[in-house]
Each structure stands twice: as structure tokens, then as C-alpha cells.
Structure 1
Amino acid sequence: MDIGFYHDAAGTRHAGGIAVYTQRMAAELSKRHDVTLYTGSGEIAPVLSDSDVTIVETPSFRDHPTRWLDPLNPLGAQNREKFLMTLWAARNDVIDHMNDHLDVLCTYQFLDDLLLSNLVDIPTLHTFHRASSVSPAAWVRDRLSQTDLLVANSDDTARQLTEAFDYDFEGIVYPGVDLDQFRPGVEPAFETDRPAILFVGRLVESKGIDDLLEGVAALDVDQEVHFVGRGDHDRIRQRATRLGIHDDVVCHGEVPHPDLPAYYAAADVFCLPSHTESFGLVNVEAMACGLPVVTTDLEGIKTYLSNGENGLLTQVGDPQDLTDKLTMLLESPALRSRLGEQARADVQDFSWTAQARHLERICRNGLETVTEIDRPSTVPARADTI
């Protein structure tokens, strides 16, 4: 098959969660198929430069003059960039390249799906990474998208969207993990004489940052908590100061994805106390590194984590429950070892290779059922610039 992937930032080194998902799927499938990634210009991620993926770059529109309209734009800066990228692609023969070279085009964000499914003359496959069933974007996509094949990144995402929109999903393709990269025995990124609790992710309220700080403040054992990710580090330090744990908190900032195994290797416990999570890939990465995980009992997370078997689950928004579970692990090296070993064994089914095989089957089966595509001609006239 000739498979295309489309994402504005999937080619770059400093890619976020959905972008990492896109680039890893593209790299894996390029081992067996002709794969093209359409992405914005930037420093190409090693996983792509070391693969057989063909990269078709568009300009980056991050600093485009229209950025001054972002405060008035209800869709936000990223969707402005996506719209301009797709407009450029339509005007500069990139859409024609898709029609001429691909059997199927895969998208991962709502505006990409909405625009491209109406522009290309080939089947499109869209993967949902969250169940935004009540958002205006979800309703607009539902009304106007011409996508042929739907996939979800977790059973819970599929369930919620099916209830909201009566969607018929082709299958589930979970986020994956590179088991060779994320493994025990990696050289640690930092050293400490105290037990280390690690958080990786965006430093936002929905990730349970305040719950984690409160839970750590109530611990009777001596420890450090390390934060890796982008966000308001000053707010975390101020909150830690008010809780009396300022000296116990370390903020490392944003770390390139290939460097994360070293941070997992340096920690004793991983904690992701999210209030909402469709899957929680960082949990799986920590488990692959043999690190015991404390996280919340959300449906997407329970896809791979069973309380007391390969990790510990806490109630959402309950700092005291978090304190109790962290205490269990920090006071018992044997429990940490048992949960970590079982976690590493249980995430084997979530390798990128295994998940790419699922997507491959979905594409192949879906192409057998999709009827001939007849899209209206909506491509703007060609232009060299926007």
C-alpha cells in the first residue's frame, strides 16, 4: 500500500504526543509499505530520518503575519497554522501529489480531517485521540467531514464518541512504545540520595499537578518530586513553597522525547494523577522502563494497568489516596520491584510494531469496502505564497 500521514509538526524533533504517534506509525509502516509524511518544515526527528518515510515539507506558518489575529481566533494558533498549511498545500500541488501517489491518507486532528477529507480524491482515515464530544469542533467535524474510515486510540474514546455520534469505528490503534528505547538499565538523567517521584507531561491543572503536590506534601517519608514538561514552572514552585516542600521539587522543563528514558531510569516511582486521559502514553513508557506507576483510575488507563498487579490506581482528584499509594511504594522496595517487572512484561502488546500492524490491517480491510470517491472540486488556484 501507499500510505500517507498528515500533521503540521510530526516531522520535527520537539514533537508532542499526537505528533510522536504520527511519526512512529509512519516509520513502522515504512518497513513494509511506501509511506509519505506531509508536515511543516523543521529539524527532522531521528526516527524519521532513519526510516524509509518520504517527507513532503510545507512552510511553517508559526510566524505568519496572521498570527496577530490569534487572540480573536476561537480555534487558536495551532489551527490557524494548520489552515494555512493546508491552503498552501492545495495551491502548490501537494493535494495533487496525494491523489497521484497514495491509496489512503491518515489524519489525527480535527481540522486536518475536516479540510483534507473534502479536498482529496482518495480514501481518508481519521484517528481520534480524545473524546471531544461536547466541543464545537467535534460537532463541525461530524457535520462536514467526508472521512471514510474512523479509528480510535482507546476503547474509552471509541465508546464515548459512539454514544455521542453513533460512529462505526474500524478498530482501535493504541499509542505505542519503543521497547528497545524505553527499557530498564538506561543511564539516569539525574542522581539523588532521596527517593524520586517523576511526573512527565504538560504542566496543567487537568494533569493533576495540584493533587500531586498536595499528596507529596502529606508524605511522612523524605523524597523529591521531579517535573518534566512544558508549562508554568513558577506556579509549581510557588505552590510547593506554600505547601512547605519547595526544596523537594525539581522542574526540568521540556525534554526531547528520545531523552525521556533517562528520566524514567533516574526515578523510583512514576506518577500521573490526571483528571482526564484518553490513554496516558507516558504511563506505558514508564512501565516499559520497569518503573512502578501510580495513576488515576480512568477507563482509558485501565486498558493496560490493573491495580495491584502492574501498578497502583488512585481516585481522581483525591490527594489523600495519592499519598497512601505513594507511601506504599516508597516504603517497599520489594513492591516497587514486583510491579515494575510485571509492568514491563505487560506492555509488550503496546509496542509500535504491534500497533502499526493493527493500523495496517484496518487500512487494508477498509480500502476493500470504501466505494469510489467523488469529491467536489474546492481546490483554490495555484499560488507560490499565501
Structure 2
Amino acid sequence: MAGPVPMGEQTTAPSIPSRVATVSLHTSPLDQPGTGDAGGLNVYVVEVARRMAERNVAVDVFTRATSPDLPPVVELAPGVNVRHVPAGPYGHLDKNTLADHLCPFIFGMLRAEAQGEPGHYDLVHGHYWLSGKAGVVAARRWGVPMVQSMHTMARVKNAALAAGDAPEPEARVRGEDQLVRQADRLIANTDDEARQLTGFYGARNEQISTIPPGVDLETFTPGPRAAALDRIGLPRDAELLLFVGRVQRLKAPDVLIRAAAELLERDPSLRSRLVVGIVGGLSGGGKREPQLLTDLARSLGVADVVRMEPPQNRQRLADYYRAATATVVPSYSESFGLVAVESQACGTPVLAARVGGLSTAVSAGVSGVLVDGHDPRHYAAELHRMIAEPAWRARLAEAAPRHAATLGWSRTVDELLDLYRDALTPRELGLAACR
């Protein structure tokens, strides 16, 4: 079998790829978002892959096998296969140890490609730095472009650590430095992330394309709040302050609980109606301190209003959004903030930290409110206004779906396909000066 054709010597290329190798090493698209390491990245991979397949671009998603019982290949949707690659011990492994198992994962990718015809994959798209490290090797072996979405970056996270949170390891920082130099194209979720890629990692401007993620506008839609409250088991006069996401210090659910305590101190009459909903599973450092939020709520005297819920499927999650007075996203770092967009799509305004991609996900003063910093008193003041001024909240709620509608997945896939086409366009060999 002939070796790979160097990218500079390609003479033809399809207008769009016929088959893409998507790499999501550390978390499977089959996992429930909000549990373990599964979150917005998982949603992104699934939604993009489905819509790519609908446009006749087949997608194979490579992920690490976590159990010997998993079949080698699972069809996620017509044209989308999830390939489970054994790499290291089965079971959950800490992300910081997965770099030690990159070699068997890469070998698994190469074996899968070797079973097809030459040129089986036209392009590799990596998600998160570990996936990128594996994807670069495969892309170079196959002679195809390597496109990388970082989703989060170590230097960015380390610059905005929550109190008590551990910094990202130096091995990840070095790995991301190498990946930025090796990837053919980098995808930033927002202009802010593009600036971080250049400022923190020295990425070249011409290497970066800014393509916002989307939201499922068919599942996340507005609906009657009273009926949604009924369906999730809350009284119709409840004021639900909602947090959705992985329970870890980075996402700052403690800020919402502290804000609720401030809110009740400001207006004790709210206690009979106030509900703080924390919807999500323990993740990262949160697994080492599983009682952190319940102990905090107890110490602040608000345990009676805090309701801890496991991750929900998308239909049920949409009801939580519709039922909420506000969705609160107080993260210390967010590459985009998919939860904020889902909430707005359901007609519920968002109160979020002014960090990272949340400045794009939320239209400040129109579909929600952005807060500088993480002082619970500032969050409490805005939440009190949403409750005490229903006409103002209603204006935010009315505008929220319109803002979310500008961020549908169809737009994301349109722009990704344009990027793929450009990455596949043969480059000039630069030989004119030699003639």
C-alpha cells in the first residue's frame, strides 16, 4: 500500500470531505452530559456529527473504550459511528493520566483506517488537547488536514482559578503549545477564545477560524412556565434559580448558593417560594469533595431551599429551563457557555459571569445580565430584581429566544463545512520563483 501523499503535493481535493475522523478521546458522545467529564463538548460532537451526516459527510468518532463489554463500533445515527478504542485500563481514568495511554489509542485509530480503502478519511477534527495529540499523529500518517477545537485551555483556566481549585498540570500546557504549532487549523468558539489562542499560545491569526457552537432549537423551545413547574414537581408560585452543569469549583455553583443566602437575608418573605436547583453530576475535583455544596447550604442556613438533582435528558432539561425564574452561570472560565444559550432558547433569561464565551452567549441587558466577578451580593441583587420586577424579567425572557435563534447548529455546520473545504484546498507549491 502506498504511503501518505504529502499535503503540499495533492493535486485534487473534494469540495467537502466524504468522511471525517472526529477524535473525542477522554469522553464519549454516548455519555450523558453533566456527568463525569461529559459536558458541552459531548453535545457539540453529537450535534455536529448528526448534521454533517445529513449533508452526506460520514463521521467516525474515536473515543476511549471504558469497558470490555462495549462493542467496537456503535451507530449513533445514520452516517455516524462511534468507535471504541482500547487504551489503558478500563473504567474511568483521571484526564491527567490519559496522556500516558495515547500510543495504544493512536494505534487503534490507524488500525481502523487501514481496514478501509486508501484515503478512507479526508480530514481529522480533534476535540480537547488530548484528542488533538492523537489526531495530529493520525492526520500526518494519512496525509490529511488536522483541525482542532480546544474547548478549554490550561493557561486560560489557570489564570482564573476558583479558590481551592488545583491548577492544570504543566504537561497539559506543553501539550497545548505543541498542538497549536502542529494543527493546520484552529477553531475558536468566540472572538475572545481566538484572542486567547494568540495571546496565551502564540497561534497565528490566519490559522484561527471563529465558529460559535449552536443550540438544538427543536428541543429547547419556549413553553408555559406553570406547566413546566408542574412537570418537575414544583408549586406554581416557586421562584426557581437554576444551575445546570458539572458540579465542580470551576463552574461555581457555590456562588449561586451563597447568592441565595444573601437574597433571603435581603427579603426573608421569599423563603417559602425560593428553590435553588442544582442539576448536574460531580466532576473533576468535585468528586473529591462530594458534600461541599450540601455542607455549604447547611452552614448558610439555606439547605431547605436547595434541591440537588442528577443530570437530565434533554426533554426534561428543557422543562427545568422553562420553569426557572433565571438560569445562573457563574463560572470562572467558559469557552462558550452552552447552558446559557439553551436556557435562552427556552425563554428564560440568564445571569452569568462576564467571562470567556459567556459575553457572546448572552446579550447583556437584552436576553440576560452579565456580572463582573463572583461576589454573591452582586448576583443576589440581580436575582432580587428579576423576582421583584416581573415586567423587566418578562422583557428579558421575550428577547432570549430571539438571541438564541442566531446560534443554531445549522449555522455552525455551515461554517465548519466552509472551513473543511478551505483546509482541503490544495496549496500552491511555491515553485514559481524556481522557473
TM over 0.5: yes
* 1:111-167 per-position Cα deviation (integer Å, ceiling 9, x unaligned): 221222123321111112123337532433433663211111121111011113331
2:194 to 158, 162, 165: 158
The partner residue of 1:228 within 269, 274, 279 is 279
Structure-2 separation of matches of 1:13 and 1:321 = 35
Q: Number of residue pairs matched? A: 362
1:88 matched residue in structure 2: 108
1:304 aligns with 2:361: yes
Distance 1:138 1:342, change over 3 A: same
Name the structure 1 match of 2:247.
Answer: 203
Secondary structure of the residue aligned to 2:187 is: strand
CA gap 1:307/1:57 in 2 versus in 1, 3 angstroms: closer
Residue 20 in 1 paired to residue 43 in 2? Answer: yes
Distance 1:260 1:99 in 2: 43
Report the counterpart of residue 296 of structure 2 in structure 1.
Answer: 239
- CA distance, structure 2, for counterparts of residue 189 and residue 80 of structure 1: 43
- Separation in 2 of the partners of 1:176 and 1:304? 10
**1:1-386 paired onto structure 2 within 5 Å:** 1-2=17-18, 3-8=20-25, 9-15=27-33, 16=38, 17-40=40-63, 49=76, 51-59=77-85, 63-64=89-90, 76-79=96-99, 84-90=104-110, 92-94=111-113, 97=116, 100-120=119-139, 121=142, 122-133=144-155, 135-143=170-178, 146-168=182-204, 169-185=207-223, 187=228, 188-192=231-235, 193-219=237-263, 220=267, 221-222=270-271, 223-231=274-282, 234-368=291-425
1:12-57 CA-to-partner distances (Å, cap 9, x unmatched) read 142422121111111111111322222346599x9x74x4323152
SS at match of 2:78: coil
Q: Once the 2 structures are TM-superposed, how far is the Cα of residue 99 of structure 1 from its aligned partner?
A: 5.8
Q: Counterpart of 2:78 in structure 1: which amino acid? A: D
> 1:298-320 CA deviation, whole Å, 9 max, x = no partner?
24211132332111111222111
Distance between the aligned counterparts of 1:163 and 1:218, measured in 2? 37
> Which segments of 5 or more consecutive residues in structure 1 lack a partner in the other structure?
373-386
Q: Secondary structure at the match of 2:319?
A: helix
CA contact (8 A) 1:292 1:339 kept: yes
Change (3 A) 1:61 1:136: closer
User: Which sections of structure 2, spanning at least 5 residues, go unmatched?
Assistant: 1-16, 157-169, 430-435
1:384 aligns with none
TM-score (norm 1): 0.84
CA distance in structure 1 between the aligned counterparts of 2:308 and 2:118, rounded to whole angstroms: 46
SS of 2:217's partner is: coil
Identity of aligned residues (%): 26
Moved >6 Å (runs of 4+):
none
Deviation at 1:95, TM superposition (A): 5.7
Shift of 1:107: 0.8
Which whole-Å CA distance do the structure 1 matches of 2:198 and 2:102 have between them? 27
Matched-pair contact (CA < 8 Å) for 1:170–1:362: no
8 Å CA contact 2:105–2:134 kept in 1: the answer is: no
**Corresponding residue number in structure 1 for 2:432:** none
Shift of 1:11: 3.4
TM-score by length of 2: 0.76
SS across alignment from 1:307 = coil
Query: 2: distance between equivalents of 1:81 and 1:128?
Result: 19
With over 3 angstroms needed to count, the CA separation of the structure-2 counterparts of 1:283 and 1:148, relative to structure 1, is same
C-alpha RMSD over aligned residues: 2.8
